[in-house]
Amino acid sequence: MAKNNKKIFLILAGGTGILNERGYLLSVQSKDDIEDWLAQMPELNILADIEPIFVSGEDDILGSDIWHKIVAVISDKATEADGFVVVSKIDQLINTSLALTFTLQNLKQTIVLTSSQVSGTSFIDKKEIIGGLKNKYGGLGLRSNIINAIQIAGQPLPFPAIIFGTRLIPATKAIMDLSNNTNIFSSIDNDYWGKVDFGINVKSNLSYSKQKTKIYTDRLADILILEDIPGVPWSFDKKALATYRGIFITINPYQPLEKSKQEQIAKWKLPTILYNYQLTSPVKGAVNISHCTKNTAIIKAMWALSSKVKDNKFEDLMARNILGEFLE
Amino acid sequence: MVITTLSLQNFTLIIAGAINLIMSILVFSRGVKHSKINLYFSLFTFFGFLWAISLLFSKSLFFGLAAEISYRTAYLAAIGIAMALFYFSYNFPYKNKNLNIYYQLFIVSLAIIISVLGYSKVHIIDFYNGANASNWFVDYYKPFYAFYSLFFLYIIFSGMYFLISKLKNIDIFLKRQIIIFLITFIIGLIIGAYFNLWLPYMENWRYEFAGPICAVFMNVYVFNLIFPKQEK
């Protein structure tokens, strides 16, 4: 290990699939797998002083409970760390990055998230995808992604970001872009914090908040997520909603919500968020939100409804541009 | 219009110097604080600029002592190029091994000593720059010249070794970057070593203008990497 290497914690929560020299799929399903898995990437300990921390296995369901554990690990290790790299499942990477963004506000240490192109330990169902990626890219992309993530984690960033392929994307702008295998994520306004072209280049003009660090250690609230289709009724009663702290409904931009649905929202008496990226028609008793990504709106609502935050007025929190999540 | 050999040389050296200087500023302005790749490539192109300009000055603009100092500076610049490429290759696209600190100190010290000696009689005993290339004469102290050349080639080949050692177990995207960079590296080495090390050793200074242009291949490739798409 070189002198003065930065201390980077490598938090493992799924998304760890990598092909070894023989082409076998290796991933971290338990703590015991970490040594073999890290041996596939000997460069990591040259780039930084790496300390892996196991949070969840490759086949575990990734959601609020695991985000809660990741937040606990980061807040516990923050004083020792120069940065954190979180490896997590590709299909939940945006939500995981947003969960960390809202729960670990203005953290001084950089948090970078990345993933393998595939998640899960079973090989048979993913055989074709893995074969295709191996032929086209020589692997599942994780080695390059982690190497890039570690190099970025040693540099300051305003809040958590995703590095995948050649793009460094702020969590609040990240969207899935399945048309491109190298860059599965893109930025909703095509603005990136950095690029991997000739080495890694992080923009030098990023703006940083001077506010104090705020860590919210409570588990994010469960909310029900609906996609409204005009003319199709919502056929469930108030009892079905008992386990949720709020309801998130994606609506259409150019036609108002039907009267019957507006009445249902009023009856539920649960915090309700109506979302559309472009615009939303106001409905009594609901919070309207637009001009941010759908994932941002969902995770922000989950955070705003979690117990430590609920003292604030929910409507105000949702309307406030806390981390620049509303795009101009 | 008749283009003389000398004016073609001047023109080539000005173009090579300008390209290197522009790339040096461009890459440096991308930030060197957190990127050793930017730092060393920027240094490489800066020394490329210095190499071209010092050759230009020694061949056309200066006479006497000024021309001699300028010509000696070209040898310093070449060592600078080799060292910058060495460290660039070590860091590009990422480090895969740690160099011993004492080894690095030894290499850097040797580079500084050789560069300083380049301004003494240990390197060039006598220097005469005529009005055209056929009248040129530089009397080298051959053992030092051979040592200088061996050191230069050792540093360059070490840089190539760093790049080649990264080709194993690397994703195709990065492998392609390294291979293309290696190709430009080898083209530059062949042209530079032949026209600017071997031919002067054989008392032929007619084609020294060809060396500085070799860095342009790398510059074109790096330019293409930096500005491939229209993403903000």
Residue A177 and residue A114 in one domain: yes
In a domain, B232, yes or no: no
pLDDT at A3 over 60: no
**Listed residues A191, A214, A237: the one ending a domain:** A214
Helix (H) or strand (E) segment spanning residue B162: helix B142-165
DSSP structure string for B80-136: HHHHHHHHHHHHSS---S---HHHHHHHHHHHHHHHHHTTSTTTEEEEE--SSGGG-
- The Cβ of residue A249 has, within 10 Å, a number of other Cβ atoms equal to 21
- Looking at beta carbons, which residues of chain A come within 8 Å of B169? 21, 143
B44 touching chain A per CB within 8 A: no
Best B89, B100, B163, B169 member to test A by mutation, with max A CBs in 10 Å, is B169
CB A159 within 8 A of CB A170: yes
Write out A39-77 in H/E/C secondary structure: HCCCCHHHHCEEEEEEEECCCCCCCHHHHHHHHHHHHHH
How does A278-294 read in b/e, with b if 16+ C-beta sit within 10 Å? eebbebeebbbbbbbbb
Looking at residue A303, what is its pLDDT? 94
**Set of chain A residues whose Cβ sits within 8 Å of the Cβ of B31:** 201-202, 204
Q: What pLDDT does B5 receive?
A: 54
Q: Which of B23, B172, B178, B227 to mutate to test the interface with A (most CBs of A within 10 A)?
A: B172
Q: Do B34 and A191 touch (CB under 8 A)?
A: no
Instruction: Name the DSSP class of A222.
Output: P
- Is A257 in the same domain as A231? yes
A60 with A181, same domain: the answer is yes
What pLDDT shows up at residue B1? 41
Q: Residue A81 has what pLDDT? A: 96
CB A147 within 8 A of CB A178: no
Task: Decide if pLDDT at A8 tops 80.
Answer: yes
**pLDDT the model gives residue B2:** 41
Strands (E), A133-270: 161-164, 167-170, 174-176, 185-187, 194-197, 199-202, 214-215, 223-227, 246-250
Q: What is the pLDDT of residue A124?
A: 74
| Strand, coil or helix: A323 | coil
Q: Give the whole-angstrom CA distance, residue A141 versus residue A156.
A: 24
Residue of A256 and A85 predicted with greater confidence? A85
Distance of alpha carbon A228 from alpha carbon B51, whole angstroms? 68
Tokens encoding B143: 């053992």
Mean pLDDT, all residues of chain A? 90
**Boundaries of domain holding A255:** 222-319
CB-based contact B37 A1, cutoff 8 Å: no
Q: Are residues A200 and A266 in the same domain?
A: no
Q: Provide the pLDDT for residue A141.
A: 84
Q: Does residue A253 share a domain with residue A189?
A: no
Scanning every residue of chain A, which has its alpha carbon at the shortest distance from the alpha carbon of B167?
A138
Q: How many residues does chain A have?
A: 328
Residue A325 belongs to a domain: no
* One domain, residues A208 and A231: no
Whole-angstrom distance, CA of residue B27 vs CA of residue A109: 27
Is residue A66 in a domain?
A: yes
Q: What is the CATH number of the domain that holds A239?
A: 3.40.50.40
Asked if residue A250 and residue A144 are part of one domain, the reply reads: no
Residues A91 and A13 in one domain: yes
CB contacts of B170 in chain A (<8 Å) are 138, 143-144
The number of distinct structural domains making up chain B is: 1
Work out the minimum CA distance from B82 to partner chain A, whole angstroms: 19
CB–CB contact B31 A47 (8 Å):
no
Do residues A70 and A186 share a domain? yes
Secondary structure class of B23 (helix, strand, coil): helix
Q: Grade residue A288 by pLDDT with cuts at 50, 70 and 90.
A: very high
pLDDT score of A2: 45
Whether A97 maps to a domain, the answer reads yes
Structure tokens at A306: 């979690």
B142 falls within a domain = yes
Q: What is the pTM of this model?
A: 0.86
Radius of gyration in angstroms for the set of CA atoms belonging to chain B, rounded to a whole number:
18
Please provide the DSSP assignment of B132-155 as one string: SGGG-EEEE-HHHHHHHHHHHHHH
Is the per-residue pLDDT at A257 higher than 70?
yes
**Which of B26, B29, B34 to probe by mutation at the A interface, max A CB count within 10 Å?**
B34
> How far is the alpha carbon of B44 from chain A, nearest alpha carbon, in Å?
14
Asked if A262 and A120 sit in the same domain, the reply is no
User: Given an 8 Å threshold on Cβ–Cβ distance, is A198 in contact with B97?
Assistant: no
Total domain count, chain A: 2
C-alpha to C-alpha distance for A242 and A319, rounded to whole angstroms: 25
Rounded to a whole number of angstroms, the distance from the CA of A166 to the nearest CA of chain B is 10
Amino acid at A165: G
Q: How many residues does chain B have?
A: 232
| Least confidently predicted of A91-100, A151-160, B57-66, B144-153 | B57-66
Chain B's closest residue to A135, CA to CA, is B172
Domain assignment present for A298: yes
Contact A197/B228, CB-based, under 8 Å?
yes
> What's the pLDDT at A210?
87
* Residue in B93, B101, B172 nearest the CB of A199: B93
Q: What is the CATH number of the domain that holds A206?
A: 3.40.50.1170
* CB neighbours of residue A189 within 10 Å: 12
**Containing structural domain, residue B183:** 5-226
Per-residue pLDDT of chain B (232 residues; tens, 9 = 90+): 444 455 778 888 999 999 999 999 999 998 888 889 999 999 999 999 999 999 999 887 767 888 899 999 999 999 999 999 999 999 988 898 899 999 999 999 999 999 999 999 999 998 887 666 666 788 999 999 999 999 999 999 999 999 999 887 777 778 888 898 899 889 888 998 899 889 988 888 888 888 888 878 888 888 877 775 555 4
Q: What share of chain A has pLDDT > 90, as a percent?
A: 62
Q: How confident is the model at residue A1 (pLDDT cuts 50, 70, 90)?
A: very low
Is B161 or A138 the better-scoring residue by pLDDT?
A: B161
| Residue A59 domain flag | yes
Q: Is A134 on the interface with B (CB under 8 A)?
A: no
**CA B145 vs CA A179, B148, B150, B178, B202: distances in Å:** 57, 5, 9, 31, 12
Query: Residues A139, A163: one domain?
Result: yes
* Domain C-terminal end among A184, A214, A244: A214
Out of B94, B170, B174, closest to residue A47 by CB: B94
Is A75 domain-assigned?
yes
> What does the pLDDT average to over A257-273?
90
Q: What is the mean pLDDT of residues A124-152?
A: 83
Express each pLDDT in A35-76 by its tens digit.
Answer: 999 998 988 999 999 999 999 999 999 999 999 999 999 999
Please report the residues numbered 56 through 85 in chain B whose beta carbons come closer than 8 angstroms to any beta carbon of chain A: none
- Say if B86 falls within a structural domain: yes
| Cα end-to-end span (Å), chain B | 46
Residues 6+ apart with CB under 8 A from A286: A249, A265, A272, A273, A274
CATH number, domain at B114?
Answer: 1.20.1070.10
Q: Does the residue A327 lie in any domain?
A: no
Could you tell me if residue B26 is inside a domain? yes
Q: Is residue B41 part of a domain?
A: yes
- Give the contacts of B4 (CB within 8 A, at least 6 positions apart): B132
Tell me the mean pLDDT in the region A126-133.
79
* A24–B contact, CB cutoff 8 A: no
Say yes or no for a CB contact (<8 Å) between B225 and A198: yes
Using only the alpha carbons of chain A, give its radius of gyration. Answer: 21
CA distance A177 to chain B (A): 15
Same domain, A229 and A87: no
Q: In the numeric block, which tokens belong to residue A214?
A: 């705020």
Q: Which of A189, A214, A239 is the last residue of a domain?
A: A214
Are A142 and A18 within 8 A, CB to CB? yes
Rounded CA gap, A54 and A12, in Å? 5
- Pick from A166, A182, A197: CB nearest B226: A197
pLDDT for the residue numbered B231: 54
